[in-house]
A = this chain, B = another copy of it.
């Protein structure tokens, strides 16, 4: 809680993550942020910007938690960040990706879609960098997205499946 903006972003992220994007009223968001309505609107002048603020906070938390301080060896790094995604799902969100959820709730918003694209681009890039598989960025993204969406349905089995798929990338067959 370094400054007001961080405090608000954190609260908003928590609110949207637990209640979705349609449900919470601005008054709910105010409660979650722990500030007055006036202050909330000062930093995020519309509900749409509250969504953006929440997602920016999410992006930071996600990327650091999943990708920071991975093992140096590419093989270990691969398994490690897939496991971390599983842990993330378990502790942070029961249903899929918050960015996709936000876009789904308001598909007409251009800034929202841009934020989604930026987030996924960054995720794919860091995954490729951590594992040294620069030629297989899209494959890694498919695995990550697949894991994220499948986890709510299959739990830990989804993590295992994702790992098996990723190991297969070692020996490219075509």
- Chain B nearest CB from A103 CB (Å) reads 6
Among A107-154, those with CB < 8 Å from B are 107-108, 113, 117, 120-121, 136, 138-139, 141-150, 153-154
Chain B residues with CB under 8 A of A100: 95-96, 100-101, 104, 149
Contact of A150 among B105, B141, B171, B174 (CB under 8 A): B141
- Chain B nearest CB from A102 CB (Å) reads 8
Count residues on chain A whose CB falls below 8 Å from chain B CBs.
Answer: 51
Q: Do the beta carbons of B120 and A107 come within 8 Å of each other?
A: no
- Nearest CB to that of A138 among chain B residues? B161
Q: Take A143-B142, A165-B168 as given contacts and tell me if A105 and B20 are in contact as well, using a CB distance cutoff of 8 Å.
A: yes
Q: Do the beta carbons of B168 and A173 come within 8 Å of each other?
A: yes
By secondary structure, the A interface counts as helix
Copies in the complex: 2
Chain B residues with CB under 8 A of A107: 19-20, 23, 95
Chain B residues with CB under 8 A of A117: 153
What are 26 A-B contacts defined by CB distance under 8 Å? Answer: A19-B107, A21-B22, A21-B104, A21-B105, A22-B106, A23-B108, A95-B104, A95-B107, A96-B100, A100-B100, A100-B101, A100-B104, A100-B149, A120-B153, A138-B154, A138-B157, A141-B158, A141-B161, A142-B165, A145-B149, A145-B150, A146-B146, A146-B147, A164-B174, A165-B168, A165-B169
